[in-house]
Amino acid sequence: MATRNPEHDVPLERTVPGPRAEASAPTAFTPPPLACDAHCHVFGPADRFPFSPNRSYTPPDAGVDDFFRLQARLGLSRAVLVQASCHGADNSAMVDAIRRGDGRFAGVAMIDRSFTDADLDELHDHQVRGIRFNFVAHLGGAPDLDVFWELVHRVARRGWHIVLHLDANDFAAHSSVLDAMPVPYVIDHMARVPAAAGVDQEPFQRLLERITADERCWVKISCAERLTDGKVSPFDDVVPFARALIDIAPDRLLWGTDWPHPNLGEMPDEGELLDLLAAFAPDEAVRNRILVDNPQVLYTFS
């Protein structure tokens, strides 16, 4: 059934599915205290937090109460809530979720030129520590670079970092952007490289070169469900990619569920995704660094 968005007074039909009703509990390991899901989202609820009229997809509601249940099921304590494109630059749902997290959540916002210094100060007070840009074609493609650099330099003064959502085939084209970055930057989802092309594919080799040579570069070893061939579990073909990154830079990697998995047809089991981290990082100390220590560096949880 369609729901109604009171702000725009238009019917909202879901164009993408929602997550599974309940994740399985992880079985491969027990997450350590303060373990963090460093890439997840909240959607709505739309009757309180309307979606952007310029969105490219309309998800079902997946709000912070649903996320609390997921965290309890997985045994995770902290989270980094990343603003999703369906809400545009209205970060209200994310900020509300961070507030309700009572110090356990941090955020990555999406902003535009309309944001004042006072707006950015308020986001900082709500534990926002970065901004995100989509370069992915199906989400609108690369931003206007003049605006991009203006916003990057504004948040750089606050000690924030930049999160970049790139397609694998475009990674090389944006190397000059990465070279000029004045702050740490995070590449989402292993640059969305297709696992079927193997670890020797050029985009992934460029990613390995980048994280080796540039200490500002961080990478999220997330979204195996998007990278794997066939798009269904068990995602074994993604393991060599994560291990190659771990071998090079275990202190600059983050992991996340990507809940509630926007724009994905087959919904993964988040318990399986967490168990997969044990295959990525069999060594407990390395795994704990990825889950606890690394997020603390970027997000300074209180």
If one counts every other C-beta atom within 10 angstroms of the C-beta of residue 293, the result is 14
Show pLDDT as tens, one digit a residue, over the chain (302 residues).
233 344 444 556 888 899 999 999 999 999 999 999 999 999 999 999 999 998 988 999 999 999 999 999 999 999 999 998 899 999 999 999 999 999 999 999 999 999 999 999 999 999 999 999 988 766 666 789 999 999 999 999 999 999 999 988 888 889 999 999 999 999 999 999 999 999 999 999 999 999 999 999 999 999 999 999 988 899 999 999 999 999 999 999 999 999 999 988 889 999 999 999 999 999 999 999 999 999 999 999 97
Domains identified in the chain, total number: 1
* H-run or E-run covering 287: helix 284-288
* Burial (CB count <10 Å: 0-12, 13-18, 19+), residue 32: middle
Give the pLDDT of residue 232.
87
Give the pLDDT of residue 140.
64
First-to-last alpha carbon distance for the chain, in angstroms, is: 41
Strands 185-187 and 217-220: parallel
Q: Residue 156 sits in a domain of what CATH number?
A: 3.20.20.140
Tell me what percent of the chain is helix, strand and coil, each rounded to the nearest 5: 40, 15, 45
Distance (Å, rounded) from C-alpha 8 to C-alpha 203?
A: 41
Report residue 202 CA to chain centroid gap: 23
Q: What range defines the domain where residue 7 resides?
A: 3-25+33-299
Active site positions, annotated = 258
Amino acid sitting at position 160: W
Among 75, 90, 65, smallest CA distance to 8 is for 90
Strands 253-254 and 78-82: unpaired
